[in-house]
């Protein structure tokens, strides 16, 4: 369309020139004007081409700009999302760090507390071991004193003295203390109890348990009125030994307990005379004060 307009303009100019010059326009002038018109047309075509190229390039640039703006907008939105996510992660991380810090502080406090408790327990353990060793040593001294004092009776088999850590047992066969079927301590038995008691009296931090034991032979008819069963006989013998140690030797009654076991705790077989003789016995047991035993307290 633009080219047609340009051609018409050129043609009009030529006509005007011819009109002005009349019929006197020469061929050379015509050719000159025609060449000039062609050049102008070529220049116009070139300009139109450039204009078209520029217009297309502008459109392409506008399209590219639109795309770039959209990409930028998308990137800004994505960046905003990333920043929000990062902020959320940072907040979460800060919370985790704060929680871990508190947990670490709590654990350090607990560890410190446990270390203090462990230190106390360790010291208590050391003290307990020391006291235990002292107690065992004291019982060992008592054991040695009893063995030395009762050497004759031990050799005769009338007394057996045993020590296990801080527990000491004096096992006296019944014939050294009692007449057959009796619960009263005889004179020779009193002498033995006095020697034993004088040594035990020095050990004030121990409990003294006196146990009465019998064999499995039932009580004879002539003694049933006094001792219906071996339970009564074993209990009576243990009680009389306790009374002697309290009344004659002077041992604190709060330290003494008695128990009668009849034939329920034999240390030998009841099928032989020798075994029965060993089972008929009084056991004086020296034990720590804190040991719980089911016993009958001695009567003052």
pLDDT level of residue 233 (50, 70, 90 thresholds) = very high
Distance CA(132)–CA(159), nearest Å, equals 27
Task: Examine residue 210 and state whether it is found in any structural domain, yes or no.
Answer: yes
pLDDT level of residue 11 (50, 70, 90 thresholds) = low
Contact 178, 189 (CB under 8 A): yes
Task: Examine residue 255 and state whether it is found in any structural domain, yes or no.
Answer: yes
Picking from 76-90, 135-149, 162-176, which range would have the lowest pLDDT averaged per residue? 135-149
Residue 134's pLDDT is 76
pLDDT level of residue 298 (50, 70, 90 thresholds) = very low
User: pLDDT digit string (tens) for 146-155?
Assistant: 888 778 888 8
pLDDT: is 231 or 6 the higher one? 231
pLDDT level of residue 295 (50, 70, 90 thresholds) = very low
Structural domains counted in the chain: 1
Strands of 167-173's sheet in order across: 159-164, 167-173, 281-288, 206-213, 256-260, 296-297
User: pLDDT digit string (tens) for 22-68?
Assistant: 444 588 888 888 888 888 888 888 999 988 988 998 889 888 888 88
Continuous H helices in the chain? 2-21, 27-149, 151-156, 174-177, 187-200, 230-244, 273-279
Task: Examine residue 232 and state whether it is found in any structural domain, yes or no.
Answer: yes
Task: Examine residue 209 and state whether it is found in any structural domain, yes or no.
Answer: yes
User: pLDDT digit string (tens) for 183-193?
Assistant: 999 999 999 99
Residue 266's pLDDT is 96
Task: Examine residue 144 and state whether it is found in any structural domain, yes or no.
Answer: yes
Task: Examine residue 229 and state whether it is found in any structural domain, yes or no.
Answer: yes
Question: Mean pLDDT for the chain?
Answer: 85
User: pLDDT digit string (tens) for 207-217?
Assistant: 999 999 999 99
pLDDT level of residue 263 (50, 70, 90 thresholds) = very high
Task: Examine residue 124 and state whether it is found in any structural domain, yes or no.
Answer: no
Whether 296 shows a pLDDT value over 50: the answer reads no
What CATH number did the domain enclosing 205 receive?
3.30.1330.60
Residue range of the domain that includes 161 = 133-297
Task: Examine residue 239 and state whether it is found in any structural domain, yes or no.
Answer: yes
Specify the DSSP element, H or E, that contains 211.
strand 206-213
pLDDT: is 163 or 264 the higher one? 264
Distance CA(280)–CA(295), nearest Å, equals 19
Residue 271's pLDDT is 96
Determine the Cα angle at 212 with ends 207 and 213, to 5°.
Answer: 135
Distance CA(28)–CA(25), nearest Å, equals 8
Provide the phi-psi class of 30: left if phi over 0, else alpha when psi is between -120 and 50, else beta: alpha
Q: Is the pTM of this model over 0.75?
A: no
Instruction: Report CA torsion sign: 187, 193, 198, 201.
Output: negative
Mean pLDDT of 171-181: 91
Q: What is the dihedral of CA 146, 151, 155, 161, to 10 degrees?
A: 10
């Amino acid at each position: 369309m633009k080219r047609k307009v340009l051609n018409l303009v050129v043609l009009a100019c030529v006509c005007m020139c011819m009109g002005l010059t009349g019929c006197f326009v020469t061929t050379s002038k015509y050719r000159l004007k025609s060449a000039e018109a062609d050049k102008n047309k070529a220049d116009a075509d070139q300009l139109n081409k450039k204009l078209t190229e520029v217009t297309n390039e502008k459109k392409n640039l506008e399209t590219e700009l639109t795309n770039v703006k959209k990409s930028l907008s998308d990137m800004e939105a994505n960046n905003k999302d990333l920043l929000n996510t990062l902020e959320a992660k940072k907040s979460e991380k800060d919370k985790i760090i704060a929680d871990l810090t508190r947990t670490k502080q709590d654990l350090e406090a607990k560890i410190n507390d446990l270390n203090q408790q462990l230190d106390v327990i360790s010291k208590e353990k050391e003290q307990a071991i020391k006291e235990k060793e002292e107690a065992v040593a004291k019982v060992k001294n008592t054991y040695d004193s009893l063995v030395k004092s009762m050497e004759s009776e031990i050799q005769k088999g009338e007394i057996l003295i045993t020590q296990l850590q801080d527990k000491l047992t004096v096992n006296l066969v019944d014939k050294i203390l009692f007449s057959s079927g009796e619960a009263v301590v005889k004179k020779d038995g009193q002498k033995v109890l006095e020697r034993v008691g004088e040594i035990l009296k020095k050990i004030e931090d121990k409990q003294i348990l006196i146990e009465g034991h019998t064999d499995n032979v039932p009580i004879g008819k002539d003694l049933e009125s006094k001792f219906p069963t071996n339970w009564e006989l074993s209990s009576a013998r243990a009680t009389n030994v306790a009374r002697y140690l309290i009344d004659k030797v002077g041992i604190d009654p709060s330290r003494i307990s008695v128990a009668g076991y009849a034939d329920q705790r034999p240390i030998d077989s009841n099928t032989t005379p020798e075994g029965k003789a060993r089972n008929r016995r009084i056991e004086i047991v020296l034990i720590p004060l804190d040991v719980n035993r089911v016993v009958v307290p001695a009567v003052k």
